[in-house]
Amino acid sequence: MNKPTVAKKDINKLQRAIVDGLEDVKAQDIVVFDTEHLSALFERVIVASGTSNRQTKGLAASVRDAVREAGFEKPRLEGEVNGEWIIVDCGQAVVHIMQPNFRQYYNLEELWGEKPVRMKLGSAKPAVAESAKLATKPAAKAAPKVEPSLRRSNAAKKGVAEAFPSKAQMKKDADKAAGVKAPTRKSAAPAKKVAAKPVKTVVVKAVAKSVAKSAAKSSTKPAAKKPSVRKA
């Protein structure tokens, strides 16, 4: 294998390690440019954004660690003190980690962006880790089946009752809040009203009935015979 092929593989491996390190700390707007025809000092320029000083410093540290894990020399860092624009010198590639306002002002894309390099963003590490977790995770127990009717009676009815209480329930809640005791069934049921007859009418009817009875007896009684008087 000749030297140009080895160098090509090395630069591809290096730029992949850099991009993975940037994505691990959620870098924004990652772009890679081929600068081999513009400078003999480096072959790639990579630009990425961080929203704060803390994130830019974290991105720089992540790139440094990723490059070392890939088997390359430890990169040199510049501008790590303020964190507004950090340069990570990886030898064949130079990484510019900038806050958005600095990136917009200096516009490095216009200076180095003549030949953008297409790369598949998104590290494969999280996917592998996630698949490993799923493989080792025990299978979840199947939930017991519940009939739709029971589900409605237990859940839906309860929800409807709470959302739309009846008038009796609302009154009961209001009385309970006011400290009023609920009446018992006997006291709550109204007593039946007995229509009382007027006293005067009863007395008149009784007198009329008694008079009629006396008149009937006197009409059926035989007339008394007059005593005969003998003359002396």
Res 126: pLDDT: 44
- Residue 76: inside a domain, yes or no? yes
For the whole prediction, is pTM greater than 0.95? Answer: no
Which tokens sit at 5? 């092929």
- State which amino acid sits at residue 142: A
The model's pLDDT over 83-137, given as tens digits with 9 standing for 90+, comes to 999 999 999 999 999 999 999 999 999 988 888 888 776 654 544 344 444 445 5
- Residue 135: inside a domain, yes or no? no
Strand 44-49, strand 93-98: pairing: parallel
Helix H or strand E encompassing 88: strand 85-89
Residues 211-225 as b/e (b if ≥16 CB within 10 A, e otherwise) read eeeeeeeeeeeeeee
Which tokens sit at 220? 């059926």
CATH number for the domain spanning 108: value is: 3.30.460.10
Domain count, the chain: 1
Residue 231: is its pLDDT beyond 60?
A: no
- Residue 228: inside a domain, yes or no? no
- Residue 36: inside a domain, yes or no? yes
Contact yes or no for 48/29 (Cβ under 8 A): yes
- Residue 122: inside a domain, yes or no? no
- Residue 73: inside a domain, yes or no? yes
Can you tell me the distance from the alpha carbon of 88 to that of 77, in angstroms, rounded to the nearest whole number? 5
Residue 155: is its pLDDT beyond 60?
A: no
The model's pLDDT over 186-198, given as tens digits with 9 standing for 90+, comes to 554 555 555 555 5
Residue 64 domain boundaries: 3-117
- Residue 68: inside a domain, yes or no? yes
